[in-house]
Chain A
């Protein structure tokens, strides 16, 4: 049981490049979310999903796309990277019945 996994752990991009951050969970959780954490701040919700085929925007969705074709996977796409997207990105999952949200280890992204 791996829990929530994220790849890559570190990434450096140039302005304007695109990339996909991968997230997978093996707990059969309905809910999955993407957050970003900027220095000295808490986590802010980017996008979330309540099940396969269903996604919605969080607090800071601009510049990011998501899709959820399976229960297990929830990739986050940066369409055209900007320096303002330099951050640590966390993926999380939770079940409808549970109270705990399980977090992945995070991806540290730098945009030059």
Chain B
């Protein structure tokens, strides 16, 4: 069975500082993908970053990077230089061997303070 765990229900960060959102996963699949999505208060789901299980380098997209530690089964999201617009819910998700089945964590609510 696939499972995603996000242990931080809420976090605060000062504007312009970096923040790490934790995500651990459990799967028996050899090939899988890890995703992070942002959900602002308006409700839409915004794709941020993807990491494949066979990718040797950590994924980066602008201010977002994914700290992938395969042996520890963790896929933490790092947001550098936080902005007020980063305040939102953040969801970690995993897709296993079945490409169409995504499993989501319970989310972390990030508040960026001015």
Contact at A40–B45, with CB atoms within 8 Å? no
Contact at A94–B45, with CB atoms within 8 Å? no
Report the minimum CB–CB distance from B96 to chain A (whole Å): 12
Contact at B43–A88, with CB atoms within 8 Å? yes
Contact at A42–B100, with CB atoms within 8 Å? no
Give the interface size bracket for A toward B: 20 to 34
B35 within 8 A of A: yes
A77 within 8 A of B: no
Chain B residues contacting A33 (CB-CB under 8 Å) are 100, 102
Q: In the complex the two chains form, what is the Cα distance from A31 to B52 in whole Å?
A: 19
Contact at A31–B91, with CB atoms within 8 Å? no
Give the interface size bracket for B toward A: 20 to 34
Out of B52, B95, B104, B106, which one reaches A40, CB within 8 Å? Answer: B106
Contact at B50–A100, with CB atoms within 8 Å? yes
Contact at B106–A101, with CB atoms within 8 Å? no
Chain B residues contacting A58 (CB-CB under 8 Å) are 101
Report the minimum CB–CB distance from A52 to chain B (whole Å): 14
Contact at A103–B105, with CB atoms within 8 Å? no
Chain B residues contacting A45 (CB-CB under 8 Å) are 101-103
Q: Which 10 A-B pairs rank lowest in CB-CB distance, beginning with the nearest?
A: A42-B104, A103-B45, A31-B100, A99-B50, A43-B104, A48-B100, A100-B47, A42-B106, A42-B105, A42-B91
A contact set with B: CB distance below 8 Å: 31, 33, 35, 40-45, 48-50, 58, 88, 90, 92, 94, 96, 99-103, 105-106
7 contacts between A and B (CB under 8 A): A35-B104, A41-B106, A42-B91, A44-B104, A99-B33, A99-B50, A100-B35
